[in-house]
Amino acid sequence: MSHRVNDNPENMATDISRVASSRRYSENGLPYVHKVGVPPKTNLLKEITETVKETFFHDDPLRNFKDQSKSKKLLLGIQAVFPILEWGRSYNFSKFKGDLIAGLTIATLCIPQDIGYAKLANLDAQFGLYSSFVPPLVYAFMGSSRDIAIGPVAVVSLLLGSMLQQELDPVKQKHEYQRLAFTATFFAGVTQFVLGFFRLGFLIDFLSHAAIVGFMGGAAITISLQQLKGLLGIKKFTKKTDIVSVMKSVFAAAHHGWNWQTIVIGLSFLAFLLVAKFIGKKNKKYFWVPAIAPLISVILSTFFVFIFHAEKHDVQIVRHIDQGINPPSVNEIYFSGEYLTKGFRIGVIAGLIALTEAVAIGRTFAAMKDYSLDGNKEMVALGTMNIVGSMTSCYVATGSFSRSAVNYMAGCQTAVSNIVMSCVVLLTLELITPLFKYTPNAILASIIISAVIGLIDIDAMTLLYKIDKFDFVACMGAFLGVVFQSVEIGLLIAVAISFAKILLQVTRPRIVVLGKVPRTRVYRNMQQYPESTKVPGVLIVRVDSAIYFSNSNYMRDRILRWLTDEDEMLKETNQQKIQYLIVEMSPVTDIDTSGIHSLEDLYKSLQKRNVELVLANPGTMVIDKLHASGFADMIGEDKIFLTVADAVMTFAPKMEP
């Protein structure tokens, strides 16, 4: 049995003597070998409680409520829901100056983007502005990120637009289309809120980073292709999003559908926007240049169109944006009928994508500023703002990477920058929208292309290829699925490949042969350390995974195959036959009944071959279950060792230095 260390001086003395004895030789001439300790029995209810706690409450969210009065607990509870009440107490004018500058800066970026993104979702321009007014206000009170900037984003707008237009025509069935958009937004918010409230945020982690990189890159290509309609002045354009259909539509209109004035406006300002972006990227001091470039482009292009009456030369313009703040839309949401399930399906998908993007952005900037971000609180905040947004004529809003980056560079201190941005959008809705009448669609297309081009992360794709080829396959699968099929298909491929990777790793764990590293008592993977040597008569393998029903049979068969291959090789070279199989179990974090049955089958198969089964360093959960099942008694406790070196020293002592 193992010895346990406690504060008792006598026990400490005993432990010290045992450690010292490990350097002496026992009666049979072998060094003292430590045995693996068996943990005390745990209560079933306690074990279940701890598992649930680690799954859903690993961050111990209630720790601040311990030993507090009822009034203090109530205050802490309100602050947990509305973090602004906590950090707002230490808010000062110095912080406000930073938030004011940041808020004004991101407002100049968001206004032209919002108009363009609304078009991407096949909605009128004012809906984009609505979505940058109400949701940021709600988030500022409930969100825990200091840097994230809220509003419509290109990828979610495209996803929403492409899925909605499969159900309804955005032109012929305009009102029903808008109602379905509000319904999808409502259920997107419900999805996000439920995931956060029930602390199920870990579910979005199943969409791997590689899949997201590919999906975002493919979406950026698709969004850019969609903007060719506005950039070239094409009136009749395909509703499909795949590259083949889009390019056919573009070239079919080449002889009669392109407008050279529109092309000049679009390409000129696209070049201006890209140069501004390059300046901001090259020198961080000029971060404001790419931030204000879109608004400058809108002002200048609108002025030129108005002065030269370019709309009379078939240059397509925005024409009209409804003036005034968001009208209520509670009665517009489908709570029954055939569009309820369609809105629910679209909302869940859009909500998950929006949530994934927002949480990733929030965590990125939180790490840069070294503060903690509660993912579940973020989900509740995002869900609440989209639920409220759906009732105030908004469509799905989330964290925008481009705006958040500008917000960060502009020196934002708190979420008040979102409030400042929201106030500027409010003034725009009330006073300035008529001025956008002559804004050409080409400039909106240019702004969107310049904004989404950064989503194509070549460096990340290259890194994926270098590090993990399977991750690269997942990335390219999502990328090609979006580009050549649709956003939904690309998303489906991304999720499918992510799950396939998990299943492959779970069902086919890595099992390696270990050898002794020269001049040490350390045993490591022989592929990693080619100079390591095998111990005559002993095969040492390591299982690099928990052993569950999904991989237990593979584990048993793979080990037996190693043993068969080893015996055949030894027979050819007339070397000593394998007598001991040592299984290094350090990486085996857990084992279930199927795993134990497979170990029993392995033990029986080895007995028929006259090979002894030896285990090395099973963990707490594993050794407890091995004893509970009686397997430890079956192979004998003298066959369970603390280290591989101890096992080899016991059964092949002559090989030890």
Residue 326 near residue 136, CB atoms below 8 Å: no
Mean pLDDT of the chain: 86
Neighbouring CB atoms inside 10 A of 638's CB total 10
Task: Please tell me whether residues 554 and 409 are part of one structural domain.
Answer: no
Is the same domain home to 369 and 448? yes
User: Looking at the structure, do residues 285 and 213 belong to the same domain, yes or no?
Assistant: yes
In a domain, 414, yes or no: yes
Half-sphere exposure of 93 toward its Cβ, with a 13 Å CA cutoff? 0
> Residue 349 in contact with residue 161, Cβ under 8 Å?
no
Helix or strand (DSSP H, E) at 641: strand 640-641
Distance CA 97, CA 417 (A): 10
Supply the pLDDT for residue 44: 66
| Residue 506: inside a domain | no
Q: What is the pLDDT of residues 309-355, one digit of tens each?
A: 888 888 888 888 999 999 999 999 999 988 999 999 999 999 999 99
Q: Are residues 339 and 399 in the same domain?
A: yes
Q: Is the pLDDT of residue 423 over 90?
A: yes
Assign 547 a pLDDT band (cuts: 50, 70, 90): very high
d(CA 215, CA 147): 24
Same domain, 236 and 273: yes
- Whether 9 is covered by a domain: the verdict is no
Token digits for 337? 């009928």
The dihedral region occupied by 324, where left means phi > 0, alpha psi between -120 and 50, and beta the remainder, is: left
Q: What is the pLDDT of residue 583?
A: 95
pLDDT for res 497: 82
Which of 43-52, 95-104, 145-154, 592-601 shows the lowest mean pLDDT across its residues? 43-52
Using DSSP's 3-state secondary structure scheme, residue 533 falls into strand
* Residue 402 pLDDT greater than 90, yes or no: no
Is residue 547 included in any domain, yes or no?
yes
pLDDT of res. 29: 53
Structure tokens at 626: 């091995």
Query: Which of 92-96, 294-298, 362-366 shows the lowest mean pLDDT across its residues?
Result: 362-366
In the numeric block, the tokens 């500023």 are attached to: 369
What average pLDDT does range 125-145 have in this prediction? 95
Q: Answer yes or no: is 219 within a domain.
A: yes
Rounded Cα distance, 371 and 415, in Å: 14
Is the domain of 219 the same as that of 355? yes
- Residues 393 and 540 placed together within one structural domain of the fold: no
Out of 15-19, 242-246, 365-369, 591-595, pick the least confident. Answer: 15-19
Segments forming the whole domain that contains residue 368: 94-314+328-499
Rounded Cα distance between 616 and 56, Å, is: 32
Q: 302 with 447: CB under 8 angstroms? A: no
Q: Are residues 465 and 561 in the same domain?
A: no
Q: Is residue 255 part of a domain?
A: yes
Parallel/antiparallel/unpaired status of strands 398-400 and 640-641: unpaired
Contacts of 340 (CB under 8 A, 6+ apart): 183, 334
How far CA 443 is from CA of 122, 221, 232, 297, in Å, comes to: 17, 18, 11, 7
| Together in a domain, 270 and 368 | yes
Residue 71 has pLDDT above 90, yes or no: no
Domains contained in the chain, number? 2
Say whether pLDDT at 294 is over 50: yes
HEC string of 374-424 equals CHHHHHHHHHHHHHHHHCCCCCCCEEEHHHHHHHHHCCCCCCHHHHHHHHH
Residue 621 has pLDDT above 50, yes or no: yes
Which of 499, 532, 567 is at the close of a domain?
Answer: 499
Q: What is the arithmetic mean of pLDDT over 526-537?
A: 90
Cα 404 from Cα 373, distance rounded (Å): 15
Q: Is residue 115 part of a domain?
A: yes
Domain co-membership, 557 together with 638: yes
Query: Per-residue DSSP letters for 116-127?
Result: HHHHHTT--HHH
pLDDT tens digits, one per residue of 25-61: 445 555 666 777 676 776 667 777 777 776 666 666 7
Cα angle 611, 616, 621; round to 5: 120
What is the rounded CA–CA span in Å between residue 251 and residue 342?
34
Residue 237's pLDDT is 84
CATH number at residue 591: 3.30.750.24
Q: Which letter, b or e, does each residue of 585-601 get, where b requires 16 or more Cβ atoms within 10 Å of its Cβ?
A: beebeebeeebbbbbbe
Q: Which two tokens stand for residue 465?
A: 């290829």
Q: 579 near 537, Cβ under 8 Å?
A: yes
Choice among 65-74, 82-91, 155-164, 481-490 with the minimum mean pLDDT: 65-74
Q: Yes or no: say if 602 and 556 are a contact pair by the CB < 8 Å rule.
A: yes
470 and 615 belong to one structural domain: no
Among the candidates 478, 499, 520, a domain finishes at: 499
pTM: 0.79
CA 98 to each of CA 138, 139, 291, 407: distance values in angstroms, whole numbers, following the listed order: 20, 19, 16, 10
Angle, vertex CA 293, rays to CA 287 and CA 298, nearest 5: 160
Domain termination site, one of 473, 499, 525: 499
* One domain for residues 264 and 349: yes
Q: Is 580 left (phi over 0), alpha (psi -120 to 50) or beta?
A: beta
The gap between the terminal CA atoms of the chain, to the nearest Å, is 27
